[in-house]
Amino acid sequence: MICKKITELSGSESDQLLSRGKGLTDVGSAVDAILENVQKNGDQAILAYAKQFDKAELSTLEVTPDEVEEAIASLDSNLLKHLRQAAENIRRFHAAQLPKEIWYIEDTPGIVLGQKTIPLERVGCYVPGGRASYPSTVLMTALPAKVAGVSEVIVCTPPRADGTVHPLTLAACKIAGADKVFKTGGAQAIAGMAYGTKSIPSVDKIVGPGNVFVTYAKMKIRDYAEIDFPAGPSEVLIIADDFANPKMTAADILAQAEHDPNSVSILVTPSEKLAKAVLEEIEKQSETAQRKEIIEASLKNSAVLIAENMQECIDFSNKFGPEHLQIMTDPEVEDTVLNQIQNAGSVFIGNYAPVPAGDYASGTNHVLPTSGYVRMYSGLNTAHFLKSFTIQRISKEGLSEIKDAVIDLAETEGLFEHAEAIRKRFEE
């Protein structure tokens, strides 16, 4: 873990922190081969990859309704209650994001302009598996799609070695309203949803986080299906001053670190006292962590950085562009910091707004751009599941208001029949 002043970072250290997750080409040849195989051989290829990567012997890919009901029946009622509570918060927040279905303006008499927004027809949600089950990701992907009005939502998630999907994941699929669930993960799942197979229907858009193999696959299939954005290993940046609680701050860093060996956690603070206290807490708390090996690997990618002042913290954060940004400062400067943030996937403010709150139950979405892509992408929201087209209703009087402008501009561009299409409407 890097521990030093920002001004003392070496070039290689700075590159290590700022260029995280950019090594997609390292897996390119392997993923390209998987995509080609699935496109050519469909279900047969996906079933073979389930055996190779997941150690699962499958005869079919689709989860049956009986499997879903059995999974739900096996779960503790309190766990299901909490899953439904999280789902309701997520549903309400994303419903608030919905735009008007249709709207019009008439700034020029006789020219009525509008826009109609409609949902996509079929969307695929990728839900990771492997090191942990992620029912929360089902809620974060399938629920906003359903709120947006998507007709068919399918979920792809890796099977366990015994050929089943984790019961919590299946329960979340039921609660979120997913229409179909398939037992496949990795690049092969992305290929199946993009190209379509005998079992898996092709989709209009693929959403959801994943490892570098999944992210590379999503970037490669965009001629067949749109994607949300690149979403790789998770990351957090914490801007904090002496108001922050060192124990909570360290816990937040470890919570992020346990996601993945490639996760990145950074504390930026103008307080050397806080930096020292947080480092001590990280060492102390990590000793009893259950996912200690993953945390230790992740902390090698992470840093505690000391800034000259709060402005330097803000500037570093904007340059880094974190997936998750926590602002743990004196409440009197919270808004000052927030107002200067330009690049962040989701922002958490205060000692009692840890990232796990948003990961599960506050209602905001945890599927967010990583690796600095927040400079150009927004986190998953209902708009990702919608498309719009514009409308023009123009009378003769309205067209007369703009005809000279259209004719002049068309002829300037050398498109003379464009101009004639206007003139003909005003000939006697």
Active-site positions? 323-324
126 is in an annotated binding site: yes
Has 256 been labeled as part of a binding site?
Answer: yes
Q: For the chain, how many residues are written?
A: 428
Cα–Cα separations (whole angstroms), residue 413 to 401, 406, 410, 420, 422: 20, 11, 5, 13, 15
Strand residue runs (E) in 297-378: 303-306, 324-328, 346-349
417 assigned to a ligand binding site: no
State the chain's maximal CA–CA distance in angstroms. 89
For residue 23, give both structure tokens: 């090594």
| Residue 103, SS3 per DSSP | strand
Q: Is 308 annotated as a binding residue?
A: no
**Which residue type occupies 31?**
V
Q: 166 a known binding residue? A: no
Phi and psi dihedrals of 196, rounded to 5?
80, 145
The C-alpha angle 412, 413, 418, rounded to 5 degrees, equals 95
Q: Could you tell me if 371 and 345 are in contact, meaning their C-beta atoms sit under 8 angstroms apart? A: no
Residue 44 counted as an annotated binding residue: no
- DSSP-assigned letters across all residues of 191-239: HHHHH--SSSPP-SEEE----HHHHHHHHH-TTTSEE-----S-EEEEE
Location of structure tokens 């150690």 = 55
Helices (DSSP H) in 97-159: which residue ranges? 135-148
Q: Is 195 marked as a binding-site residue?
A: no
Interatomic CA distance for residues 250 and 257, integer angstroms: 10
249 Cβ contact partners less than 8 Å away, ≥ 6 residues apart? 238, 240, 267, 274, 278, 281, 328
Q: Are 89 and 363 spatial neighbours (Cβ–Cβ below 8 Å)?
A: yes
Q: How many CB atoms lie within 10 A of CB 424?
A: 9
- The answer to whether 413 is a known ligand-binding residue is yes
- In the annotated binding site for NAD(+), the residues are 126, 188, 211
- In the annotated binding site, the residues are 126, 188, 211, 234, 256, 259, 324, 359, 413, 418
- In the annotated binding site for substrate, the residues are 234, 256, 259, 324, 359, 413, 418
- In the annotated binding site for Zn(2+), the residues are 256, 259, 359, 418
